[in-house]
Amino acid sequence: MGRNIVQKIIDAHYVSGDKKPGKEVAVRIDQTLTQDATGTMAYLQFEAMGVPRVKTEISVSYVDHNTLQEGFENADDHLYLQTVAAKHGIFYSRAGNGICHQVHLERFGAPGKTLLGSDSHTPTGGGIGMMAIGAGGLDVAVAMAGGPFYMTCPKVIKVNLTGQLQPWVAAKDVILKLLEILTTKGNVGCIVEYGGEGVMTLSVPERATITNMGAELGVTTSIFPSDKVTKAFLKAQGREDKWVKLAADPSAKYDRVIDIDLSELEPMVAQPHSPDNVARIRDIKGKKVHQVLVGSCTNASYKDITTLAKILDGRLISPNVSFGVAPGSRQVLQMAAKESSIATLVGSGARILETACGFCIGAGQAPPSGGVSVRTNNRNFEGRSGTKDAGIFLVSVETAAACALKGELADPREVAAEMGIEYPAVKVPKKFLVDDSMVLLPAEDPSGVEVRRGPNIGKPPESVPLPETIKGEVSLKVGDKITTDHIMPAGARLKYRSNIGKYAEYVFEGVDAAFSKRALENKARGVHNVVVGGLSYGQGSSREHAAICPSHLGVRAVITKSFERIHSANLINFGIVPLLFADDSDYDRIAQGDQVEIPNVREAIRKGSSLKARNVTKGFDFEVRHTLTGRQIDIILAGGRLAYTKEKGSF
Ligand code: MIC
Ligand code: SF4
């Protein structure tokens, strides 16, 4: 039987497990990436495994998130990351070299390979034909130590592309359209595979924009074929030798097929506060805009920045708009500087921002109160920008340029017609400027490297085995679509990533600032904390701190209507039981502050998927269930994956 691309890559990397959709399968990981905000914890855990040198083909440690360096913390982290990388065989991409996903695509990614990254937008690599998956830092540490990655064998959704994008319609509009169709919920355990004759009309950076924001669908990853477009991109990066052809067999089967005619798409926008709150920009045009920001791992490629400069060439942005541009990598910045795109953008009123995540993670550029901010990144969760009541609108570079010129939400096709702007059909260059001097190679003699641990570098989290009975309190009840930004805020708090005790003070800060203190008090009294949530709990980032810090506060179980993939894996890795309501209506019968009990939880988890819980305050029993595999049960019982690995002596 013909195989699709996903099946081919899984077959080539198969280690163990069942290759039936929905079952657990383990795959070998060829490459890993980390970034600085998740990296310190990942390497502390890697060190705890006692493996001297990484066992992957390539592992890269990027510094791109925490580059503001307010205080000593981030600089401490960077020194630790640099030295630990040198010692253990890891490439180190210095601050200034660019956003991990952009740089990895340019300089390291290779079709047909598997990539595991401690960042949810690792699927960007799918643009070049990699099976690139985001995971928690501990899973990445295990992969670096030579362990496989355990995943749910996916259902594969084919997105069949036909036609060609019209001028002023961009790759971003393709993924926004798909978000409108599939939404951010209900896609756990699926992989999106692109196919159809429309694929060859899209360049690698455009494909990467689409796979990048596929993360917002909640799928495991997204992947494009590797074809002559991929080959030309790799050649232009001086890496043609990494190319292999990758295509689905003509008779390949899919679990679902979605057709998108590129010719029919229009400029789209994701409105506040969710990436799937999608509309056509022309339907909401005219709203006054205060800020326009172009950048992030979604839309800051050479093509993006050059397109932006060509649209704005000789034109001044609206006086009511603050306009920032952050090129995605040093390569993009260097080329844009050489070709005068940067001068053009400065001339149009742009503030050139650091080549880093910056505004996307709320590190700087918070909009004004109640402001409207138009951005080219991938997430617009409430408060993530640093201003709780601001509204973030996610768009393509073309639409962002139109909004900056008009000072209001605007359709780029109309603005172009009004101002006489010709569509700049920017092509991927035949040759990129290649300069890897900001990537440091691992030390040849690791024994000469001393790992630097400043005061910000803490310890890997402690494991506490699951108790016989969970007996505690619902110390927080939240609603649907709780993101990891709600659970563990980034922005101004990002600098505490290497210090669990301190960072834990901010768990659920924007939802209920008193939670952390309340939970710690419960823990001190021997009362277990239980969090109750609604649908799609744990959307968004891969940050394992959204599990580590609650675990530090004594959270032992989270009961919800549904979980998102990476977060649920992180909860298991740190010994918190992810439980589902057997009957969703029980969610309404539980209130914050209720005393709850799950008797003999260790035994019950081992015995079957259904568990009896009791609301002691209200005096009723309710059923919860788990979907843990045998391996995950052992991890939970041990109190987390580090403890389990030690106990078992293997991964
Ligand atoms: C994000 O976009 O939310 C982040 C910041 O890149 C996170 C990682 C983190 O929290 O460090 C992600 O996407 O995984
Ligand atoms: Fe950085 Fe934003 Fe991309 Fe996350 S989504 S890696 S914060 S640019």
Read off the pLDDT of residues 513-530 as tens digits, 9 standing for 90 and up. Answer: 999 999 999 999 999 999
Give the Cα separation of 148 and 30 in Å (integer).
Answer: 10
- The model's pLDDT over 430-464, given as tens digits with 9 standing for 90+, comes to 999 999 999 999 999 999 999 999 998 988 888 89
Cα(297)–Cα(379) distance, integer angstroms: 11
The rounded Å distance from CA 101 to ligand 1 centre is 11
Q: Is the pLDDT of residue 651 over 90?
A: no
Q: How confident is the model at residue 1 (pLDDT cuts 50, 70, 90)?
A: confident
Q: Percent of the chain scored above 90 by pLDDT?
A: 97
Catalytic residue among 543, 545, 552, 567: 543
Atom of ligand 1 nearest to the CA of 119: 14
Nearest ligand 1 atom to the CA of 215 is 13
Assigned architecture for domain 5-264: 2-Layer Sandwich (3.30)
The closest-lying atom of ligand 1 relative to the alpha carbon of residue 485 is 3
**pLDDT tens for residues 212-232?**
999 999 999 999 999 999 999
Q: For residue 189, how many other CB atoms are within 10 A of its CB? A: 16
**C-alpha of residue 362 to centroid of ligand 2, in Å:** 10
Distance CA 4, CA 251 (A): 8
What confidence tens digit (pLDDT) does each residue in 574-626 have? 999 999 999 999 999 999 999 999 999 999 999 999 999 999 999 999 999 99
Q: What is the dihedral of CA 297, 299, 300, 304, to 10 degrees?
A: 160
Q: Which of 551, 463, 459, 555 is nearest to 499 (CA)?
A: 459
- How far, in Å, is the centroid of ligand 1 from the Cα of 163? 34
pLDDT of residue 650: 84
Mean pLDDT, rounded, for 121-139 = 98
Among 297, 354, 484, name the best residue to mutate to test ligand 2's pocket (greatest count of ligand atoms within 8 A of Cβ). 297
- Among the listed residues 78, 94, 379, 641, the single catalytic one is 379
Is 107 a known active-site residue? no
pLDDT digits (tens, 9 = 90+) for 165-186: 999 999 999 999 999 999 999 9
| Topology match between the domains 5-264 and 268-419 | yes
pLDDT at 567: 98
What sign does the CA torsion over 100, 226, 299, 282 have? Answer: negative
163 φ, ψ (degrees, to nearest 5): 70, -160
- Annotation marks residue 452 as catalytic: no
Q: Write down the mean pLDDT value for the chain.
A: 97
The bound ligand whose nearest atom lies closest to the alpha carbon of 38 is 1
Count the neighbouring beta carbons within 10 Å of the beta carbon of residue 504: 20
Is 516 a catalytic site residue?
Answer: no
**Best mutation site among 542, 544, 549, 566 for ligand 1, i.e. most ligand atoms within 8 A of its Cβ?**
542
Give whole-number Cα distances, 338 to 184, 333, 361, 577, in Å.
Answer: 40, 9, 28, 53
Residue with tokens 């601001």: 390
- The domain locations on the chain are 5-264, 268-419, 470-648
Pocket of ligand 2 (CB under 6 A): 65, 99, 119, 121, 296-297, 357, 360-361, 377-378
Give pLDDT, residue 366: 98
Measured distance CA(441)–CA(439) in Å, rounded: 6
Q: Which protein residue's CA is at the shortest distance from atom 2 of ligand 2?
A: 360
Residue 542 has pLDDT above 90, yes or no: yes
pLDDT for res 249: 98
pLDDT at 311: 98
The domain defined by 268-419 carries CATH number 3.40.47.10: no
CATH annotation of 470-648: 3.20.19.10
- How does residue 649 score in pLDDT terms, banded at 50, 70 and 90? confident
